[in-house]
Amino acid sequence: MSETTDLVELLRKIGIRASREAIEAFLVHAAKTKASPAQVTEQLCTLEQREREARNLERRAKMATLGTPKSLDRFDWNHPRSVDRDLYDQLHSSLDFIRRGENVLLRGQAGVGKTTLAQNLGLRALERGHTVRFCTLPAALADLLRQESIPATERRLRRYTSPDLLVLDELGYVPCDSRAADLLFHIISRRHETRAIVITTNLAFKQWGSVFHDASCLGALVDRFAQHCHVIDIDADSWRHKEALKRGKGRKPKNDD
């Protein structure tokens, strides 16, 4: 067993969580640069802190059911015909809307990147230490509707009312009955002006009635959500459809003879 391996084993035994590869690379670099004991200690602490922060973020992202969002630097801002990138960048960089308990609406047809932008707001919030819950709106309402008693529903509602940021994806694709609308109203009401919500949708506010049929609470629901809301409209064709067309053009035509 080499001296480096012995040292890695000792560091692991005292609770250093950085990977073996990272520790070994650090030790090699420290030896080459002839770092002083104080520098070695400081750099090792920095390495460990980064590892713990990364693991903590990964754990919290898993708890938030955020998934694995596409990196924001891969989002093609030139694809939409129009989108308020300045507003999104301001929301993403400062997260002041969370502190103020304001809402964000990302609106556009399917396939234009609404979910990616919403997920990246959630990821940014997690990085800043906020609690986050991400889910599709149909899944959240189905989860609540499965509860078999009022106390059980109240307990499950906390899953959606307590996080600093709630992200509800895909409003407008699945119709909901009046009971589901009432549940969404409770979520929005309890978070109103205190905790932020991000919703993605393909519908204007006046079209929400096509999802929540005959819901008496619809007017109040929309009114409370829209009162302090930043609206980002994405005017674009489906990115997925564009990519599919590209792939189709790259294929050789079939021989019909």
71-83 residue pLDDT tens: 999 999 999 999 9
Residue 145 DSSP label: H
Taking the C-alpha atoms of residue 64 and residue 131, their distance in angstroms, rounded to an integer, is 8
Q: Does residue 253 belong to any structural domain of this protein?
A: no
Q: Which domain holds residue 174?
A: 72-242
Same domain, 27 and 87: no
Calpha distance 154→183 (Å, rounded): 10
pLDDT at 68: 86
Is 197 within 8 Å of 103 (Cβ atoms)?
yes
Same domain, 44 and 92: no
- Domain identity same for 91 and 7: no
Q: Which helix (H) or strand (E) holds 229?
A: strand 229-233
pLDDT of residue 106: 98
Given 46, 63, 80, the domain boundary residue is 63
In tens, the pLDDT along 154-193 reads 999 999 999 999 999 999 999 999 999 999 999 999 999 9
pLDDT at 257: 36
Q: Which two tokens stand for residue 76?
A: 């093609």
Contact between 233 and 117 under an 8 Å Cβ cutoff? The reply is no
- Domain total for the chain? 2
- Asked which of 16, 46, 63 is the last residue of a domain, the reply is 63
Comparing CA positions, the residue from 103, 173, 108 lying closest to residue 141 is 173
Confidence of residue 1 (pLDDT cuts 50, 70, 90): very low
| 76 and 51 share one domain | no
Q: What is the CATH number of the domain that holds 184?
A: 3.40.50.300
Q: Check whether 140 has a pLDDT greater than 90.
A: yes
113: left (phi over 0), alpha (psi -120 to 50) or beta: left
pTM of the predicted model, to two decimals? 0.81
Note whether residue 205 is domain-resident: yes
241 close to 110: Cβ distance less than 8 angstroms: no
β-pairing, 196-201 vs 165-171, is parallel
Does 166 share its domain with 192? Answer: yes
For the chain, what is the mean pLDDT? 90
- Provide the pLDDT for residue 163: 97
Determine the pLDDT at residue 245.
Answer: 67
Per-residue pLDDT band for 250 (boundaries 50, 70, 90) equals low
Residue 81 shares a structural domain with residue 19 = no
